[in-house]
Amino acid sequence: MSIKYKTLSELKELLEKKDISSFELVEETFKNISSSKTNSFITLNEEVALTKAKEFDQGECEGDLAGLPIAQKDLFCTKNLRTTCGSRILENFIPPYNATVVENLSKAGSICVGKTNMDEFAMGSSNETSYFGAVKNPWDLERVPGGSSGGSAAAVAEGLVCAATGTDTGGSIRQPAALCGITGIKPTYGRASRWGMIAFASSLDQAGAFARNAEDCALLLNHICSHDEKDSTSLSNDKENYLENINNDLKGKKIGIVKEFDISNLSKEVQDSFEQSKKIFESLGANFVEVSMPNIKLSVPTYYVVAPAECSSNLSRFDGVKYGYRAENVNDLEDLYIKSRSEGFGDEVKRRILIGTYVLSAGFYDAYYKKAQQSRRMIKNDFVKAFSEVDVIMSPSSPSSAFKIGSKTEDPIEMYLEDLFTISSNLAGVPAMSIPHGFSKNLPIGLQLIGNYLEESEILNFAHQYQKNTDWHIRNPDSGDNS
Amino acid sequence: MSWETVIGLEVHAQLSTNTKLFSSASTKFGSEPNTQVDLVDLGLPGVLPVVNKDAFKKAITFGLAINADINQESTFDRKNYFYPDLPKGYQITQMTLPIVEGGSIEINVDGNIKTINITRAHLEEDAGKSIHDAYPDKSVIDLNRAGTPLLEIVSEPEISSAKEAVSYMKALHQLVTFLDVCDGDMSQGSLRCDANVSIRKVGDSELGTRTEIKNINSFKFIEKAINFEIKRQIKVLENGDKVIQETRLYDSLKDETRPMRSKEFANDYRYFPDPDLLPVIISDDEMDEIKDSFPELPNDKSKRYISELKIDENEAQIISSSRELSIFFELAVDSESDPKLAANLLVGEIGSLLNKDNIKINESNLSSDNFNTLLKRISDGTISKKIAKTVLADIWDSGKDADEIIKNQGLVQIQDESIIQDIAQKILEANPDQVAAFKAGKDKLFGFFVGQVMKETQGKANPKSVNDILKKLLS
C-alpha cells in the first residue's frame, strides 16, 4: 500500500484499523525520503523513529497522533538530535533539550522522522540560503519551494510526510505552503510556545503546521499550541479544540478584501484564482466587504527594520565561544569573533545582522527602530479596525507561483517582496493560513486567510468549508493535469 | 586655586534571592565553576528568560525604604556587547523604565546630616567571570554568577568628598542588609560600586569632565580610589591639561587608578526593548503584600528599644544598627529575661568578643536560645552577673548549653545566708587589724572584706547578701 500523499487523518485511520503498522509506515517514509530529490531533510532520525514505531505497535504509546511520522523544521531544538537552523555555525549542534512544540507533539505520540531543511536562521523566502543546499519544489525541481520553512513544505507536498512543523516570522509557513500547494497555518503570536525555537525575530516568530488540508492542521494545532511558563510571551488563554467549529456554516459571514492590497499587477492566473475562490465563498453564503487598511503598505519596510534589529541581537550568542562553529588559527578574542561569525554565517544572515546593527545604533535608533515600532502599532490598529467589520480577511498568499532557483538571489529587495501579503499579520500578531486554490502553469497558487486575534478556529472553519467544496488540496505533483 | 569635587555613585547590590533573575539556577556563592547554570544561563539557542518576582519584591522593598516612586509597570531592555562571559551577547537590564525612581538616603558625616538623592534603581543580570590566570595558555569562563540579580542604585552627583562617598556606601550597606535585600558581603562582590568623579573650580556651575572608577569593593578602597582620582585630576587641570572622560580601574596594591583599555569599552550598546519579556506589572495586591512584610528600620527599632524596653540610648543604637544583632537581641529577650541586662551584655562583653574574633553574632557559638537561658539564670538569681561572664566565655569556646555549664562547674550562686555568714565571720576573725582599721573610719576596707568573701566562695556568693551580712557584722 502506498502511503504517499495520504493525509494525517487517513493514516491515523489506517493505523487504528491496523491496516498498516507504525513500523511499516516509518520504514516506508525513510524509503521515500531516500529516493527523494528535493533535499527536504538535513538530518534523519531513523533509528529512534523505528524504535518508537515498534513501541507503538506493541501498544506502548498512546495519544492523538500516536504512531504517526512527522517532520520537524530544523529550527526547533530536539534533544540529542542535531539542530542546525540551516547554518554552518550550528552544523554540529546537538541540543540537550526539546522545544516545547517538539515535546507537545512527542507527548501526543507522533514520531519525528527528521529535521527539515530551511533558510539559514529562517532568513529567506526561497530556501536558497540554507548552508545545506537549496530545497527543490516537488512540482518542478528547478524551482524553489518558498521559505523559510521550505523543507517542511516540500516534504509534505511530495508526500514524504503527512505533516510537518514550521515557523513563520514574515510568511515562512504561508508562502512555502502556497508555492508547494499544501495547507499551512500560523496561529496568533503567543499561542504556541517559543521555548526551544531558535530565535530569528522574537516578537514575530511563531510556530505552526503544514499538512495536506485544514482539518489536519486543526488537529496538529491542538497539540502545537499550549500555554508555557517558560515563555513570557506565551498567552494564558484556555486551550481550545480547533476541530470543534470546523464544520460551522459560513452563511452571513463577512470576508474582508483589503483595498490597499493591489492585485491588478499580479499574473492573470493569480487574479483568476482569487476571483474563483471569492465565488466559492459566496456560494457558501459569505459576503465580501472592502476594508481599508491604509498603513498596510508600511509592512515590508517596517518588517525589515524590526526583524533585522531583533535578529542582530538574537544571533549575538553565536560567537564561537560556547558551542557551534569556532574558527581555527585565531590570534585573539576579537579575531575569534570575527572569523567564527564570518565563516559560520551566510550572506543573507550577515546582511540582516548588519541592517539590524545599523538601525539600533546610537543616532539612528529614533529614525529607524522607534519609527518602525510606531508604524507597527498603526498596522495593528488597522487590523483591529478591520476585524470590527469582518470575520476574516482574504488575499493571495504570495505575489506569484514558485520561481526558478537562482532567479532572485541577486536582488534582495525583490526577494523581500515575496512576503508582501504575509508580513502584516506577523507585525500585528494575528493568525493566518494559506490553502491551495489554483494553478499557474502547473504550479500551485495559495489563498491567504487572516483571522482576528485568537480566531484560529474561524479561519480553519473557512478553509475546511472551502476544501469540502474544492479539490485543489487533493492535487499532488503526480496527479497529472493541474490546470 | 581651590577645587570642589562632584561624585555620583553607581552601586551594584546583588539581591539575595535563591534563584537567578531569569532562570531557576541557584545563586549560591562559592560553588564549583559552572555548576550553578541552567540552559538559560548558558545562552543556548532557543532559551527564553522568565522574570524572578522575588527580585522585584526586593527591589521594591528597597524603593519603599528610600521613599522612591515604584513603577508598577517596568520594562527590560537589551544592552548588546560581545564578551565571553556574557553568554547571550547582551545583558538584560532596565534602561527605559526602571522599577525604582527617585528617593533619597541620609548620610552622617562627622555628625552632619546630608541628604543624597537617588536617580533610579534598576534590575539587571550579572555577567559570568572570565578567569585569565588559571591556565598558562588559555582563559576560561565560570558562568555561576551569570544571571544573578543585581539592583543598580544610581545616586545624583551630590556627593562632595571621598568621606561622604564612604558614608553613603555605609548607609546603603546598612539599609540593604537590614531590608534583607542583599547580604552586603563586599569581599564576595555582593555590594560594589562605580564612582563617577569630577572636579570644578569652586563657584563654577557647570560640571567638570568626569572619570568612572569601576568595581570598587571595600569602604577603604572607595576612600582611597576617590582621593587618588581627585588629586590626579587637580594635577591634570593645574598643568593646563584636560581630564579625559574614561573608565579607570583602582589598583589597591599600588594605590592608584589607571585607565582601562578604552577600545574595549567604546561600545555602542544598541539598547532596545527585550522582545522576549513583556512589561512586568506589579499589582496593587502585590504592593500591599510587600508593604505588609516591610521590616522595621534601624531608627524605628532604636526608638522602640528605648521607649518600650527602657534600653540605654547608646546601646539601643548599637544593637539596632546591625540586622544580625537586632534579630539576635529580639529573639533572646522574653518576659523572663531582662532586656536591659541583655543589651548591656550584648554591647559590652559579647561586643568585645565579636570584635576580638572579627565575626558576626550569627557566626558565633552563642545561640539566641542559649543567651536567653543565660539571662534567665541571672534574673532568677542562679548565677551572678560576674559568673555569667565566665559562663559566656565558656559558651563562646564550646557552644555548650548555659545550664549544663552552670551545673557541671558548680557555679550556682550561694543563696543560703547562714553559709555566707559563717564564711564572713571567719574572714573577719582572720583579719583583726583590718577590722580595727575599718572601725576606725577606713571605709574603703569594706571592699576588701567583700572581695575576701567572694574569693572564698569562688565568686558564687550572692553579692547582695554578702553586702548585707558584712554590714551587719561590722556594725
> Which residue of A92, A228, A321, A354 is the best one to mutate when testing the B interface, meaning the one whose CB has the most B CBs within 10 A?
A321
Tell me: pLDDT of B263 over 50: no
DSSP B282: P
The residues pairing with B121 across neighbouring beta strands, listed in sequence order, are B100, B153
A230: left (phi over 0), alpha (psi -120 to 50) or beta: alpha
Q: Count chain A–chain B contacts defined by CB atoms under 8 A.
A: 96
Q: List the single best residue of A322, A325, A354, A373 to mutate versus B (max B Cβ within 10 A).
A: A322
Given CB atoms, is A87 within the 8 Å cutoff of chain B? no
Nearest CA in chain B to A309: B272
Which residue in the set A83, A315, A361 is minimally distant from B268, CB to CB? A361
- The pLDDT of residue B197: 97
What residues of chain A lie within 8 A of the CB of B89, using their CB?
313, 315-317, 319
Distance CA B228, CA B206 (A): 22
Residue A96 forms contact with B (CB below 8 Å): yes
Per CB-CB distance under 8 Å, the chain A contacts of B49 are 232
Q: Is the pLDDT of residue A236 over 80?
A: yes
The residues, any chain, with a CB within 8 Å of residue B407's CB and separated by 6 or more, are none
Query: Please, which contacts does B243-247 make with residues 24 or more away whose CB atoms are closer than 8 Å?
Result: B243/B198, B243/B199, B243/B208, B243/B209, B243/B210, B243/B211, B244/B209, B244/B211, B245/B209, B245/B210, B245/B211, B246/B211, B246/B212, B247/B211, B247/B212, B247/B213, B247/B214
Confidence of residue B261 (pLDDT cuts 50, 70, 90): low
pTM score, whole prediction: 0.89
pLDDT digits (tens, 9 = 90+) for B338-385: 899 999 999 999 999 999 999 999 899 999 999 999 999 888 888 888
Nearest to B50 among A202, A230, A315 (CB): A230
Query: Which amino acid would we find at residue A304?
Result: Y
Q: Is the pLDDT of residue B221 over 70?
A: yes
Residues from chain A that touch B266, judged by Cβ atoms under 8 A, are: none
C-alpha–C-alpha distance, residues A393 and A293, integer Å: 11
Among B76, B226, B210, CA closest to B165 = B226
Contact A197 B46 (CB under 8 A): yes
On the question of pLDDT at B248 being above 90, the answer is yes
Here the cell at position A394 is 482574504
Contact assignment for B272 to A231 by CB distance below 8 Å:
no
Residues in A 38-77 with any Cβ partner in B closer than 8 A? 76-77
pLDDT of residue B422: 87
Provide the angle, in degrees to the nearest 10, between the axes of the packed helices A214-224 and A100-107: 110
With a CB cutoff of 8 Å and minimum separation 6, the contacts of B294 are B61, B64, B65
In the chain, the amino acid numbered A97 is: Y
Q: Chain B 239-278, CB below 8 Å of chain A: which residues?
A: 268, 270-272, 275-278
The pLDDT, as a whole number, for residue A482 is: 64
> pLDDT tens across B387-420, in order?
888 899 999 999 999 999 988 887 787 777 888 8
The distance of B128 to chain A (nearest Cα, Å) reads 13
Report the candidate in B68, B13, B366, B357 with the shortest Cα–Cα distance to residue B185: B13
- Cell numbers given for A290: 472592502
pLDDT in tens, B267-285: 799 999 999 999 999 999 9
DSSP string across B64-121: HHTTPEE-SEE--EEEE---TT-TTSEEEE-SSS-SEE--EEEEEETTEEEEEEEEEE
| pLDDT > 90: percent of chain B | 70
Query: What pLDDT score does B439 carry?
Result: 87
pLDDT digits (tens, 9 = 90+) for B58-112: 999 999 999 999 999 999 999 999 999 999 999 999 999 999 999 999 998 988 9
Do A124 and A148 contact (CB within 8 A), yes or no?
A: yes
Q: B441 at the A interface (CB within 8 A)? A: no
**Tens-place pLDDT, residues A384-440:** 999 999 999 999 999 999 999 999 888 888 788 888 899 999 999 999 999 999 999
Put simply, whether A202 touches B (Cβ < 8 Å) is yes
Query: Could you say which residues from 67 to 86 on chain B have a Cβ atom under 8 Å away from some Cβ of chain A?
Result: 78, 80, 82, 84
For position B262, what pLDDT does the model report? Answer: 58
Residue of A nearest to B80 (CA): A313
Catalytic residue list of A = 73, 148, 172
Within chain B, all domains assigned CATH 1.10.10.410 are found at 417-474
Q: Which position has the grid cell 562632595?
A: B160
Nearest to A248 by CA among A471, A10, A8, A463: A463
Instruction: List the grid coordinates of A113.
Output: 522522522
Euclidean distance between CA atoms A56 and A38, whole angstroms: 29
- How, if at all, do strands B247-251 and B211-216 pair? parallel
What is the spatial distance between Cα A184 and Cα A436, in angstroms, rounded to a whole number? 9
pLDDT in tens, A93-137: 999 999 999 999 999 999 999 999 999 999 999 999 999 999 999
Cα torsion at A98, A102, A103, A106 (round to 10°)? -130
Question: Which residue segments constitute the domains of chain A, with CATH numbers given?
Answer: 1-483 (3.90.1300.10)
CATH code 1.10.10.410 for B417-474: yes
**Mean pLDDT on A155-166:** 98
Cβ <8 Å between A230 and B48: yes
Run of H or E including B198: strand B191-201
Question: Strand, coil or helix: what is B47?
Answer: coil
Continuous segment of H or E residues that includes residue B372 = helix B368-379
Mean pLDDT computed over A185-193: 98
pLDDT tops 80 at residue B212: yes
B45 closest CB neighbour out of A77, A202, A312 = A77
Closest-CA residue to B94 (of B67, B120, B128):
B120
Interface check A196 vs B, CB under 8 A: yes
Percent of chain B's residues with pLDDT above 70: 99
Q: Is the ipTM of this complex over 0.90?
A: yes
Sequence-distant (6+) residues with CB within 8 A of A88 are: A131, A325, A343, A344, A345, A346
Across chain A, mean pLDDT equals 96
User: Is A226 at the interface with chain B, CB within 8 A?
Assistant: no
- pLDDT of B457 reads 83
**A322, B48: Cβ pair inside 8 Å?**
no
Torsion angle (degrees, nearest 10) of CA A397, A401, A406, A412:
-30
Q: A232 — contact with chain B (CB < 8 Å)?
A: yes
